[in-house]
Amino acid sequence: MKRGCIIAIDGPSGAGKSTVSQELARRLNYLYLDTGAMYRAAALQAKRLGVSWDDPQELARMCAKLEIDLVLKKGKPCTLLFGEDVSEAIRMPEMSMGASRVSAQQPVREKLWELQRRIGREGGIVAEGRDIGTVVFPEAECKFYLDATPEVRARRRCEELRGKGLAVDYTSTLEEVQKRDRDDQQRALAPLRPAPDAVIIDSTDLTPDEVVEVLLRVVAEAAGRLR
């Protein structure tokens, strides 16, 4: 018996996916699956081992033994790498670029797809990433593609990093966001793009609560159709 629907939320960085996905999961009492955190943890492990983010053979060897878990600690999503809580370390700007680089490599994607599908197979999940509706769960009952202008996404990212005490400047953050968009959209493997049946939401002028309300309405309509 399935626990519930699969809700896929894709889109570029800074579109607000994490905030709204977590809130949606909380409201529906669903699991929250942050697939970006998994790519970030893989990039961190490669760095620790001195493995290049662009070397498929070395990454394949690393992935054969890779252990990543996503858990809730006091209601907060945490990422474990071989049991160690790396939730803070994977949010550093270097790991954003590292995650984007390792995510273009087949052995890394295959390893993480398997983990993600295992976590989602019972349904009752809100999964966010770049390829959830297109590749990981093409059968998802609800698919969203959340977007916003690069300027607004860069501003949100600056605020997030400054909130963590990091000194970041807007212009370089905007360049980083635009480079990552290009790399994620242009890679051969599971590129970032909306699924043909995704509902596209522009969050540029919406608050996270407003986006959640839109998502809940679409989910309720889909649930009505499935009944």
User: CA-CA distance, 168 to 206, in Å (whole number)?
Assistant: 24
Question: Which residue type does 119 have?
Answer: I
User: Stretches 93-101, 140-148, 194-202, 216-224: which one binds ligand DC (CB under 6 A)?
Assistant: 93-101
What value, to the nearest 5°, has the Cα angle with vertex 193 and ends 87 and 161? 30
Interaction pattern, residues 47-86, with ligand DC; x per rule: CB under 6 A: ----------------------------------------
Collapsing DSSP states into helix, strand and coil, what is residue 33?
strand
- 11 to 61, 131, 153: CA distances (angstroms): 30, 9, 11
Nearer to ligand DC, 13 or 22 (CB): 13
Interaction pattern, residues 20-49, with ligand DC; x per rule: CB under 6 A: ---------------xx--xx---------
* Binding residue count for ligand DC, defined by CB under 6 A: 14
User: Stretches 98-106, 162-170, 199-207, 215-223: which one binds ligand DC (CB under 6 A)?
Assistant: 98-106
User: CA-CA distance, 171 to 87, in Å (whole number)?
Assistant: 26
145 token code pair: 């593609």
User: Stretches 24-32, 80-88, 129-137, 210-218: which one binds ligand DC (CB under 6 A)?
Assistant: 129-137
Nearer to ligand DC, 147 or 184 (CB): 184
Pick from 22, 45, 87, 100: which binds ligand DC (CB under 6 A)? 100
Nearer to ligand DC, 45 or 100 (CB): 100
Q: Is 99 in the site for ligand DC (CB under 6 A)?
A: yes
| DSSP-assigned letters across all residues of 108-171 | HHHHHHHHHHHHHTT--EEEEESSIIIII-TT-SEEEEEE--HHHHHHHHHHHHHHTT----HH
138 token code pair: 């093409």
Contacts to ligand DC by CB under 6 A: 13, 35-36, 39-40, 96, 99-100, 103, 129-131, 180, 184
